[in-house]
Structure 1
Amino acid sequence: MEVQNDYDPSIGFRIKGKAKLREAPQDTCVICLDAVTERAVAVPCNHLNFDFLCLLSWSQEHPSCPLCKAPLTAIEYDWRSPTDRKVYTIPKQDEADKTPTVASATSLIRPSRRRPATSHRPLHTNPDAALAFRRRIYADQNYSLHVGANRTSQYRNFTPATFTTSPALQSRARLFMRRELHVFDFLADNNARLGFLIEYIVAILKTTEVKDASGSASALVAEFLGTNAASLFLHELEAWLRSPYERLEDWDRHVQYAPKRPRYSNG
């Protein structure tokens, strides 16, 4: 009887007809050398010795399989059955080449000396008060108002390429997420899970437009936060990254939200 070499006992079924274990033990990620927690399959070579997050991060710098060097076109993950899985498409290189250079990326986050106009929003100097305010934003599903990119507002748009080449943008993203993700109770007391999700979202921002028409970024984050929370979270994160502010306190003071209208019932 023929032995099935592509059977994955950690999942309980064959991942793909062509997928075979080759250069590394099946349950060890060849990138981080730790146990595989979320299996990823490289497309089209079908190597599967990777964690999804590891292979996703690898693909941003090296869009080829770590084992055979074959060009990657996609990453398959979250296998529920031999035919039910999710697919992350690797951006084409020619699309990345059309994005701004490192020099222009640096200018995106350099605020001018002119200070933005102040608002009457109170400054939350108490971290607990600031976090309580952020929780209300999610409870009300209240999206911050869009600010146009211009010299007066000092807001600047960014792309995955400019984010990838800007350590300052990445640092600001992590700063925002370290507070924002504490809104969710399942992350507030779990530093390991929080750190994982922060780096996971940073990896997404390096490869995917926040408001991509396909909704791929939102779908990836929704796996952890849920659909509504993920959409609002990415909107707020983009608003922060587009802004000229370096401190969360300054952003808290200036970010604007539409007032929630009271609901009237027919008594």
Structure 2
Amino acid sequence: MDAEPSVEDERPQILQDTLQQISSTSAETPMKCCVICLGDLEEQCEALPCRHNDFDYLCLITWLENRATCPLCKRDVSEVRYNLSEDGKDGKIYTVPKPVDGRNEGGLRGAASLSGRRRSSHANRAARPEPPEDEAIRRRRMIYRHKLYSLYVGSNNRQPAALRHRELSPQLFATNAELVARARMWLRRELRVFRFLYVEETGAPPESHDPVRRCRPCKAEYLLEYIIAILKSMDMQGSAGQAEEMIQEFLGRDNTRLFLHELRAWLRSPCKSWGEWDRVVQYRDGNIMRQQP
């Protein structure tokens, strides 16, 4: 039996797919996304010699302190061009240090230092506006706070035929537009549960130890496309846990495990709307769910 591809093997293609989808859905008002933090691209730079440039400068430097390869193509990176001119041809050059023993440990210390400078530069910036919140979102937040996993919601003839008896495989996500639309519907609301996706000063899940996550909050709309790209590339329930590993970088491990469980439950349910889902989904600890959110 073939081994499942590793996260690092799959990451470049997933990031490229994410960029392509973001570009295709924002043609009228082009958005630039840093593929490392999934936040707005504010200080664009270019990796050399491959010349990929979908990175924020401090994010790429932090990344290179842990692994001296391009996130998009895995080629070695020897230099980074930053402070780019308008035509992108000129700028300052940062030379990537050669790797030494214990590189990862030192890289994390260096990344933490960069993180502090980045956080300082954002200290006076206004928080991103949170989307309007309703009681349903507050209840969903309570579910994550208490780590409640939904019980099985049975299927019936109202459920899409393609989903009734089939595994939620990457191949199915890649070919079934209805399944992707259902996933988008769920993701668009569920991501509103996580306040740290909208507040600049607390831009990482509480349990995150990733310095990039701590200083560079991602944007929910970019994260949505990233998750869709993951679902089309790797099994949500793969034995190696690649999907969980990639998403937990943004949501935290415990949140991601519950998040993926709830996504599977929604996709396998016969529910057509969020309102219907909220009415029928049940949790083992009913007392908590009866509390005011």
Q: TM-score, normalised by structure 2?
A: 0.47
CA distance, structure 1, for counterparts of residue 237 and residue 158 of structure 2: 24
Match of 2:150 among 140, 144, 152: 144
Give the secondary-structure state (helix, strand or coil) at the position aligned to 2:47: coil
| Counterpart-to-counterpart distance in 2, 1:164 and 1:253 | 30
State the alpha-carbon separation in 2 of the partners of residues 200 and 193 from structure 1.
11
Q: Highest Rg: 1 or 2?
A: 1
Determine which of 19, 42, 55 is the counterpart of 1:35: 55
Secondary structure in structure 2 of the residue aligned to 1:258: coil
Distance 1:35 1:239, change over 3 A: same
State the shift of 1:134 in Å: 0.3
Runs of at least 5 residues in structure 2 that lack an aligned partner in the other structure: 1-44, 78-101, 108-131, 201-216, 289-293
Structure 1, unmatched stretches of 5+, are: 1-23, 50-80, 86-125, 263-267
Distance 1:252-1:34 versus aligned 2 partners, 3 A rule? same
Select the structure that is richer in helix.
2
Deviation, structure 1 residue 153:
7.3
What TM-score, normalized to structure 1?
0.51
What is the match of residue 272 of structure 2?
246
Name the residue aligned to 1:215.
241
Whole-angstrom CA distance in 2 between matches of 1:171 and 1:185 = 24
Instruction: Give CA deviations for 1:1-38 in whole Å, capped at 9, x if unaligned.
Output: xxxxxxxxxxxxxxxxxxxxxxx95269867x533655
Distance 2:180 2:49 in 1: 29
Please point out which of 192, 195, 198 is paired with 1:182. Answer: 192
On the 8 A contact 2:153/2:281 being kept in 1, the answer is: no
CA positional deviation for 1:188: 3.6
Provide the residue aligned with 2:47 in structure 1: 26
Query: What is the rounded CA distance, in whole Å, between the counterparts of 1:184 and 1:135 in structure 2?
Result: 8
CA apart distance, 1:186? 0.9
| CA-CA distance at 1:162 after TM superposition | 0.6
Once residues 144 and 224 of structure 2 are traced to their aligned partners in structure 1, the CA distance between those partners, rounded to angstroms, is: 18
Q: CA separation of 1:186/1:162 partners in 2, compared to 1, >3 Å: closer, same or farther?
A: same
Q: Cα 1:215–1:35, aligned 2, differ >3 Å: closer, same or farther?
A: closer
Q: Deviations over 1:50-99 (max 9, x none)?
A: xxxxxxxxxxxxxxxxxxxxxxxxxxxxxxx75689xxxxxxxxxxxxxx
- Percent sequence identity is 38
RMSD of Structure 2 on Structure 1 (CA): 3.6
Aligned to 2:250: 224
**Equivalent residue of 1:26, what SS?**
strand
- Within the candidate set 180, 184, 198, 2:224 is matched to 198
TM-superposed CA distance for 1:140, in Å, is: 1.2
One-letter code aligned to 2:261: H
2:47 partner letter: Q
Deviations 1:85-143 (A, max 9, x none): 9xxxxxxxxxxxxxxxxxxxxxxxxxxxxxxxxxxxxxxxx961110110111111110
> Quick one: which amino acid aligns to residue 171 of structure 1?
A
For residues 261 and 213 of structure 1, what CA distance do their matches in structure 2 show?
Answer: 33
- Alpha carbons 1:218, 1:230 under 8 Å: kept: yes
More strand by share: 1
Structure 2 counterparts to residues 109-120 of structure 1, below 5 A: none
Aligned to 2:168, which of 158, 165, 186?
158
> Separation in 1 of the partners of 2:193 and 2:268?
21
Following TM superposition, the consecutive aligned residue runs of length 4 or more in structure 1 with deviations greater than 6 angstroms are: 152-155
Structure 1 counterpart of 2:182:
172
CA distance in 2, matches of 1:225, 1:236: 14
Q: Secondary structure at the match of 1:207?
A: coil
Alpha-carbon distance in 1 for matches of 2:55, 2:240: 32
